[in-house]
Chain A
Amino acid sequence: MKRIGGALGAAVVACSLLAMGMPAQAQQKTSVKVGFVTFLSGPAAGPFGVPAKMAAEAIVESLNAGKGPAPYQIKGFGGLPIELVVADEAGGATKQVAEFRTLVQRQEVDMVIGYIGSGDCLAIAPVAEELKKLTVLFDCGTPRVFEEASYKYVFRTRAHATMDAVAATMYLLDNRPAVKRISGINQNYAYGQDSWNDFEASIKAMKPGVEIVTSQMPKFGAGQYGSEVSALLASNSDVIHSSLWGGDLEAFMLQAQPRDLFRKSVLVLVAGEPYLHRLPGKIPDGTIVGARGTNGVFAPDSPHKRWLMEIYKAKAGVDPNYPAFSVAQAFLGVKAAWEKATAKKIGSAIPMGAAKNVKEEMEKAYAPPTQDELIAAFENSTFDSPSGKVKMGLGKGHQAVMGTAYGTTRFENGVVKVGNIKYYDAERVTPPEGISSLDWIKSGFRKSK
Chain B
Amino acid sequence: MKLDRTGLSLIVVVVMLLVSGPFLPSWMVSLLNVSMCYGIVVLGMMLLMRTGLVSFGHGLYYCLGAYAAGLIDQVWKMPDMLLMVAGSIVATAVVSAVLGLLLAKYREIFFAMLSLAFSMILYGLLVKSASLGSTDGFNVAAKTVGGVAVEGDTLRVTVFSVTAVILGIAAFLLHGYLASHRGRLAGAIRDNELRVEYMGASVFATVHFNYVVSAVLAGIGGALMAVNIGHIDPEMTYWPQSGEFVFIAILSGTGSVFAPLGGALVFESVRSFAYEYSPNTWQMVLGITMLVVMIFLPGGLWSLFTRGKAKEAAT
Contact = CB atoms under 8 A, between A and B. Distances in A.
Q: In the complex, A touching B, CB below 8 Å?
A: yes
Interface stretch (B106-114, B133-141, B174-182, B186-194): B133-141
A93 interface: yes
A106 B134 CA distance: 32
A41 B282 CA distance: 10
A311 B156 CA distance: 44
B247 to A, nearest CB: 15
B25 interface: yes
Interface string B117-148: 00000000001101001111111010000000
B272 A105 contact: no
B230 A9 contact: no
A1 B141 CA distance: 47
A216 to B, nearest CB: 14
Interface stretch (B28-36, B97-105, B208-216): B28-36
A54 to B, nearest CB: 14
Contacts of B80: none
A322 B307 CA distance: 57
Given A122-B138, A197-B130, A41 B283 contact: yes
Contact of B236 (A9, A21, A94, A193): A94
Interface stretch (B49-57, B198-206, B273-281, B288-296): B273-281
Nearest to A107: B276
Contacts of B280: 40-41, 88
Contacts of A98: 30-31, 34, 229, 268, 272
A23 interface: yes
B311 interface: yes
Contacts of A193: 130, 134
A426 interface: no
Contacts of B231: 93-94, 97, 119, 122-123, 126
A17 interface: yes
Contact of A5 (B133, B275, B307): B307
Contacts of B133: 119, 122, 144, 190
Nearest to B238: A92
Interface of B is mostly: helix
Given A88-B282, A98-B30, A119 B136 contact: yes
A86 B282 CA distance: 13
Contacts of A99: 272, 275-276
A131 B29 CA distance: 13
A101 B27 contact: yes
B76 interface: no
B24 A122 contact: no
Given A16-B269, A107-B276, A119 B233 contact: yes
A122 B30 CA distance: 19
Q: Which of A5, A13, A93, A193 has the largest count of B CB atoms less than 10 A from its CB?
A: A93
B136 A190 contact: yes
A131 B230 CA distance: 13
Contacts of A220: 135
Range of interface residues on A (Cβ < 8 Å)? 35 or more
Interface in A146-180: 149
Nearest to A189: B135
A149 B231 CA distance: 14
B308 interface: yes
A6 B305 contact: yes
Contacts of B307: 5
Interface in B34-58: 34
Contact of A9 (B130, B141, B279, B305): B305
Contacts of A107: 276
B31 A2 contact: no
B310 to A, nearest CB: 10
Given A101-B27, A122-B137, A88 B279 contact: yes
A135 interface: no
Contacts of A149: 139
B279 A86 contact: yes
A99 to B, nearest CB: 6
A126 B139 contact: yes
Interface string B239-283: 000000000000000000000001001001101100110011011
A102 B269 contact: no
A4 B269 contact: no
B27 A123 contact: no
B25 A105 contact: yes
A127 interface: yes
B9 to A, nearest CB: 10
A126 B141 contact: yes
A20 interface: yes
A88 B275 contact: yes
A184 B26 CA distance: 46
Nearest to A97: B229
Contacts of B8: none
B306 to A, nearest CB: 9
Contacts of B315: 1
B241 to A, nearest CB: 8
A142 interface: yes
Nearest to A142: B136
A218 to B, nearest CB: 12
**8 residue pairs, one from A and one from B, having the closest CB atoms:** A5-B308, A123-B231, A105-B27, A190-B134, A190-B136, A189-B135, A92-B235, A119-B136
19 contacts: A1-B308, A1-B311, A5-B304, A5-B309, A9-B304, A13-B265, A20-B31, A88-B280, A93-B231, A93-B235, A97-B231, A98-B34, A101-B26, A101-B30, A105-B25, A122-B137, A123-B233, A144-B136, A197-B130
Interface of A: 1-2, 4-6, 9, 13, 16-17, 20-21, 23, 40-41, 86-88, 91-95, 97-99, 101-102, 104-107, 118-119, 122-123, 126-127, 130-131, 142, 144, 149, 188-190, 193, 197, 220
Interface of B: 24-28, 30-31, 34, 127-128, 130, 133-139, 141, 156, 225, 229-231, 233, 235-236, 262, 265, 268-269, 271-272, 275-276, 279-280, 282-283, 304-305, 307-309, 311-312, 315
Given A1-B311, A101-B26, 19 more contacts: A1-B308, A5-B309, A21-B24, A87-B276, A88-B279, A88-B280, A92-B235, A93-B137, A94-B229, A94-B231, A94-B236, A99-B275, A119-B136, A122-B133, A123-B139, A123-B231, A126-B231, A149-B139, A190-B135
